[in-house]
Amino acid sequence: MAKRFTDSQIQSLKPTNKRAILFEDGGRGFGIRIEPSGRKSFFLEYRFGKGKERRNRVLTIGKYPRVSLTKARSIASQSLAHVEQDVDPATQKQTLIIANRDALSVADLVAEYIEKWAKVKKKERSWKEDERLLKKDIIPAIGRKKAKDIRRRDIVLLLDEIVERGASITANRVLAVTRKMFNFAVGRDIIDASPCVQIPAPSKENRRERNLSEDEIIVFWDKLRDAKMSEEIRLALKFLLVTAQRKSEVTDSEWKEFDLENKWWTIPPERTKNKQSHRVPLTPIAIQILKELKLITGEYQFTFASPVGATKKNPDRLPGMMPIIASAVDNALRDNLTDDPKTKRTNIFNLDHFTPHDLRRTAASIMTRSGIQRLTVKKILNHSDREITAVYDRYEYDKEKQTAMRAWDKELKKILTNQSKAESKQILTKQEKKTPKKIVTNQKKENANEEITYEQFLKNNKLRDFTKK
């Protein structure tokens, strides 16, 4: 390598099994470290002290390319000048770090948390919600205070104010994100301890159990055409009810995930809650919705592509570049379920409040009520089930899910056409009714962790393949 570093030479450096160290100008002093992970960082090796106290010392300058070669070389030169003046640059740097830490405000901490943790660890809609809560409730209240000076009492009083304005659930959310932020600060040695330790949630959140009745489903489906929302959101709400999948899995879906010919929707593992690929059978109603969407968003990457174009924050954005935001579906439904003369909102449905997630719960409840086995419903919802043996954890239940979803499709059609229960036929075949609630092998097979085929399972339980005529 040449005596002087160049950007092209640094970029070409490859990691090895051990840390590699290279010095500029053929001697010791300014250099670069290449870690086995591939991380590259500049440093300065120098001698400091007098007489017997003179020792080799190392100053870490910064990671490349965050710190440019030109900047790193300049810092090294300035540090050597300090050494000549009997000033230890390493000690000077540590003093500066402590000073900066002590001067860091809560507002500064919010910015650092969002940029260095939330944006790195969370999905966009999640970190944006963190940012919204912190900017709305934390910064106005304690933003100017030093992060190191915040005490548990400050957080408790802040939460009390949020509860007093009638937003107890919001107080829970603010506490959660504030706790994450201060834990982040502890991990980066910004503060010694989190002020959120042992602060209980301000409000107890009761589990929602809202299911739509058959009459409510009819009204919901019929009145959607009159609701004030984009066509993409309108179809997303229908698709949620029809497929019984999670809201984010629907809104973030891409056209490449759908196989309309074979009637399957495959959700990749990076988009599922349990990080496992999930196959969803597509029913006639689901396919019809997708065909309607195809006319609107077929040229885009995302199935439910957002019609929003350029904004002040993102002037280069074009319609269709991003999926609709999951929270936009929540907001659109809520706005159409609210009577508010001030905002000129009208409850177009004339129904009690419900959420998009309630549509998923409604679909699952009707499936179970109709006789579809709970295990199959769990597989459709992509819920984890610890009771299932390791043998059956490997089984995809595709055939059972297909039959169950066809049954749900028929039932939904009957509801929407308002057929009387007396005229409704049994949804499931006799064979499905015979399926045991829990699919398990005998004890010997469980102990041996023996896999069996689907055909063998049918034989053992005296069933036939109900997907074949």
State the average pLDDT for the chain. 82
Q: Closest Cα to residue 243, out of 215, 281, 270?
A: 281
Residue with tokens 């040449």: 2
349 and 292 inside one domain: yes
156 and 262 inside one domain: no
Rounded Cα distance, 374 and 360, in Å: 15
Answer whether residue 113 is part of any domain: yes
83 and 154 inside one domain: no
Question: Considering 57, 76, 101, which residue would you say is the last residue of a domain?
Answer: 101
136-180 residue pLDDT tens: 999 999 999 999 889 999 999 999 998 888 788 889 999 999 999
Residue 437, token pair as written in the block: 């609630």
385-422 residue pLDDT tens: 554 444 445 567 888 999 999 999 999 999 998 753 43
Residue 333 burial (CB count, 10 A): 25
State the average pLDDT over residues 70-89.
85
242 and 166 inside one domain: no
Instruction: Give pTM, 2 decimals.
Output: 0.52
Look up the CATH number of the domain holding residue 281.
1.10.443.10
160 and 77 inside one domain: no
Answer whether residue 469 is part of any domain: no
123 and 242 inside one domain: no
Rounded Cα distance, 377 and 385, in Å: 11
408 and 281 inside one domain: yes
| Residue 297: band (very low, low, confident or very high) from pLDDT cuts 50, 70, 90 | very high
Q: Which residues pair with 32 in a beta bridge?
A: 22, 42
Which domain covers residue 174, as residue numbers?
Answer: 106-187
Question: Considering 77, 101, 125, which residue would you say is the last residue of a domain?
Answer: 101
Query: CB–CB of 201/172 below 8 Å?
Result: yes
Q: For strand 264-267 and strand 278-281, is the pairing parallel, antiparallel, or unpaired?
A: antiparallel
Residue 340, token pair as written in the block: 């508010």
Q: How many CA atoms lie within 13 A of 451 on its CB side?
A: 4
Least confident window among 38-47, 120-129, 292-301, 444-453: 444-453
282 and 174 inside one domain: no
Answer whether residue 200 is part of any domain: no
236 and 178 inside one domain: no
Question: Considering 40, 72, 101, which residue would you say is the last residue of a domain?
Answer: 101
Domain count, the chain: 3
pLDDT score, position 373 = 87
140 and 91 inside one domain: no
Answer whether residue 336 is part of any domain: yes
336 and 427 inside one domain: yes
State the average pLDDT over residues 55-65.
86
Helix spans in 114-228 (H): 119-121, 124-133, 139-142, 152-164, 168-187, 214-223
| Residue 426: band (very low, low, confident or very high) from pLDDT cuts 50, 70, 90 | very low
Q: Which amino acid is present at 93?
A: K
Look up the CATH number of the domain holding residue 97.
3.30.160.390
Rounded Cα distance, 3 and 407, in Å: 75
| Residue 444: band (very low, low, confident or very high) from pLDDT cuts 50, 70, 90 | very low
Look up the CATH number of the domain holding residue 137.
1.10.150.130
Residue 237 burial (CB count, 10 A): 22
Least confident window among 216-230, 288-302, 347-361, 451-465: 451-465
CA distances for 125 relative to 122, 229, 427, angstroms = 8, 20, 39
271 and 167 inside one domain: no
